[in-house]
């Protein structure tokens, strides 16, 4: 994202995600729930594909965002994570802060565009970001 984009909130155009790409195949595995999520929200979506799941940054990371993850055919978010694991608001705040930092560390990772349920999404096929998000969530619940 260029300096002017950051200053004026412009939206960057990314090249389309190649059809034969591993990230495309991973997204296809969670396509149904991902499309359902796209239809329910109005925020921007940035998808980090993983082997059996996908992490989705919603809104405007790294500052104002939420996160959802698609696993086992369903969509979960921070509210479910907090409820299921009895996390305090302070714990949730730490998760959000750590996720924002992980997102910033991956700022140089290639990004692509993909139509998801009629909505333009950004795909970040970054192993490092995927591992960081997984670690942050895992550390929060253990």
Residue 5 lies in a domain: no
Closest by CA position to 49, among listed 74, 21, 76: 21
**CA 86 → CA 80, 82, 92, 105, 123, distances in Å?**
10, 5, 10, 29, 31
The pLDDT of residue 5 is above 80: no
Residue 3 lies in a domain: no
For residue 97, what pLDDT is reported?
Answer: 96
Residue 136 lies in a domain: yes
Q: How confident is the model at residue 140 (pLDDT cuts 50, 70, 90)?
A: confident
Instruction: Note the pLDDT tens digit of each residue in 78-116.
Output: 999 899 999 999 999 999 999 999 999 999 999 999 999
Residue with more model confidence, 142 or 19? 19
First-to-last C-alpha distance (Å) of the chain: 35
- Domain span at 63: 12-141
% of the chain at pLDDT higher than 90: 80
> Which residues, including other chains, have CB under 8 Å from residue 61's CB and lie 6 or more apart?
46, 99, 100, 103
- Choose the weakest-confidence range: 3-7, 20-24, 67-71, 116-120: 3-7
In the chain, how many domains are there?
1
How many contiguous H segments (helices) and E segments (strands) does the chain have?
A: 6, 6
For residue 36, what pLDDT is reported?
Answer: 96
Is 118 in a helix, a strand, or coil?
A: coil
Instruction: Note the pLDDT tens digit of each residue in 125-137.
Output: 999 999 999 999 9
Dist. CA 50–CA 41, nearest whole Å: 21
């Amino acid at each position: 994202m260029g300096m002017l984009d950051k200053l004026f909130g412009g939206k960057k155009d990314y090249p389309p995600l190649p059809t034969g790409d591993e990230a495309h195949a991973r997204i296809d595995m969670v396509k149904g729930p991902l499309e359902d999520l796209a239809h329910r929200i109005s925020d921007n979506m940035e998808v980090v594909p993983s082997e059996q799941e996908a992490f989705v940054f919603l809104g405007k990371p790294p500052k104002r965002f939420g996160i959802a993850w698609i696993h086992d055919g369903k969509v979960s978010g921070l509210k479910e994570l907090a409820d299921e694991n009895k996390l305090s608001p302070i714990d949730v705040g730490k998760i959000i802060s750590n996720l924002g930092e992980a997102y910033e560390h991956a700022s140089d990772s290639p990004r692509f565009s993909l139509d998801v349920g009629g909505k333009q999404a950004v795909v970040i096929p970054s192993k490092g970001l995927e591992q960081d998000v997984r670690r942050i969530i895992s550390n929060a619940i253990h």
